[in-house]
Amino acid sequence: MGTTQLETVPEPKYWHLKTVLSEALESEFSVGEILPNERDLAARFGVARATLRQALEQLELEGRLQRRRGVGTTVAPPRVGVAVGTEQHAWPGAGNDVWQAVDCAVAAPPAAVSAVLETGREEAVYTVRRSRVSHGQPVAAELLYIPASSVPELSAIDAPSGPARARAVLRELQRLELEGQESAVELGSARADDAKELDRLPGAPVLVVTTRFLADGRTAALSVATYRADTCRLTFGDSGGVEIHQDPERRAS
Amino acid sequence: MGTTQLETVPEPKYWHLKTVLSEALESEFSVGEILPNERDLAARFGVARATLRQALEQLELEGRLQRRRGVGTTVAPPRVGVAVGTEQHAWPGAGNDVWQAVDCAVAAPPAAVSAVLETGREEAVYTVRRSRVSHGQPVAAELLYIPASSVPELSAIDAPSGPARARAVLRELQRLELEGQESAVELGSARADDAKELDRLPGAPVLVVTTRFLADGRTAALSVATYRADTCRLTFGDSGGVEIHQDPERRAS
């Protein structure tokens, strides 16, 4: 394969190609525009298709490109800052909560969740599913695990499932005094159901935010929220967040 | 290729394989153990190698496997919780800062950084490089951008570069009254220099934490910290964080 332009560069070829592609995206393409197909791109930059694909994957990781089945590769809009509250502690569903309750089920949670909630191995807990939309786009899906002991007065007369039931569970939870909350963010891959809700393919990279809500000296509720990693920047702190995204030119500094 | 076990499953093959592999990791392998080669694994599970590779990539994203050049694929230890302070605001280098100053340069930052710092397009700023080690492992690399206007009294007599110079810049910065700080977390890919410091390949997925330090009504310093996404869980909040990691069984709930 002809690789004339890139042969003398000491860094990996796809890495240099990424920088070149990144500049081309900036100067020649607008947001939402569909890129030429891989064969044409590889020919234009004089690289093997495997090299091109690696560079495209990098740019996808960095949120510069989006690959959609049946559409092709498009230039991504800048990532959206999504506030993840850690400063003002509040129960899910309280105050100006941005999440929408979707459903509520009663089921035995995964073992790792039981361990945190200190419930028995097969003990069923309320499992509230919620979703979060930002700028008209689904950005996150959440499973909220609440043991029966956290909502002892919950009336069984309500709807057995659905959003109304979910809201009833959250209202009961809010009767407890919230003593604190802790969150963690890590990289994960989208499960099939979350992927569908987030309009992604299963296995797409996601940011998983786990939040433990503390009351009566124990974990009264546990939230596992899955954010789209391609379109979201999670913001923490005083205001709307930092308006800077990872810059491809940064490496030049 | 024979795909007898997986043919009837309605979800993507690699996804089901991921679950099966995940269970095998749990029951048959210990942390640090090297997996059999791809050909043997593909044969054992009766899948094409492309399918196997997709499943391995998922498990790598989730922090279950590590792939290292010259070593092969090994079973990863559980991710380490790394505290990212958002509650107690403090200048870099103040108090019990966990970061180690490595070097200090004076250079024009990338355009996106200049924009946040409101410095001129080609104006040089102090660029402090720091590194963070947790449990004896490098977990993060940071570039900290500080405009000269934030450290007006900085003496030019000190060492011109190196960790001593970096510490002198941070000491000067700490004279300002910190008014607030804001952070954002997003997915990125490791630049070559960060990758080397983090013992990863260039382009590996990383969690990029951008923090803006506010003083005198403007951004007095900007930190861009790159955390290993394979080994780290970033924790926020009251205590050492949430001791739950994304559970492969969770999808069964």
With a cut of 90, say whether residue B222 has pLDDT above it.
yes
Give the model's pLDDT for residue A157. 66
Best probe of the A interface among B244, B245, B247, B249, by most A CBs < 10 A, is B244
Compare all CA atoms of chain B with the CA of A86 and give the residue at the minimum distance.
B237
The 10 Å Cβ neighbour count of residue B159 is: 12
pLDDT at B159: 67
CB-based contact A250 B113, cutoff 8 Å: yes
Cβ-defined contact of A236 to B212 (cutoff 8 Å): no
Cα–Cα distance measured from residue B38 to residue B44, given in angstroms and rounded to the nearest whole number: 10
The answer on pLDDT for B247 being more than 60 is no
pLDDT at position A215: 94
For residue A14, what is the nearest residue in chain B, using CA coordinates?
B203
Residue B3 has pLDDT above 50, yes or no: no
Q: In the 8-state DSSP scheme, what is residue B232?
A: E
pLDDT of residue B98: 87
| A55: nearest CA partner in chain B | B203
Give the gap in angstroms from C-alpha A154 to the nearest C-alpha of chain B.
22
Query: Would you state the pLDDT for residue B157?
Result: 66
Condensed to tens digits (0 to 9), the pLDDT of residues B150-207 reads 999 887 766 677 899 999 999 999 999 999 888 899 999 888 888 888 888 788 889 9
The Cα angle at residue B198 between residues B185 and B163, in degrees rounded to 5: 95
| Cβ atoms B181, B89 nearer than 8 A | yes
Of A58, A113, A233, the CB nearest to B203: A58
Tens of pLDDT, residue by residue over B49-76, are 999 988 898 898 888 898 777 788 999 9
Q: How confident is the model at residue B87, as a pLDDT? A: 59
Phi, psi (5° rounding) for residue B53?
-60, -40
Note whether A187 contacts B207, CB cutoff 8 Å: yes
Contact flag B205-A241 (C-beta cutoff 8 Å): no
pLDDT at A250: 39
- Residue identified by tokens 């963010």 is A185
The nearest CA of chain B is from the CA of A172 a distance in Å of 23
Distance from CA of A11 to the nearest CA of B (A): 8
pLDDT of residue A242: 42
| Close Cβ partners of B40 (under 8 Å, ≥ 6 residues apart) | none
C-beta atoms of B247 and A11 within 8 A: no
pLDDT for res A245: 43
The percent of residues above 90 in pLDDT, for chain B, comes to 43
Average pLDDT by stretches of 10, chain A with 253 residues: 43 81 88 92 92 88 83 88 76 87 92 90 92 89 95 77 90 93 90 85 88 93 94 74 42 34
Least confident of A30-34, A94-98, B221-225, B235-239: B235-239
pLDDT value at position A94? 87
Closest chain A residue to B193, measured at CA: A251
Query: B186: distance to nearest CA of chain A, Å?
Result: 5
Give the pairing of strands B125-134 and A65-68: unpaired
This model's pTM is above 0.90 = no
> Three-state SS for B65?
strand
**Whole-number pLDDT of residue A10:** 56
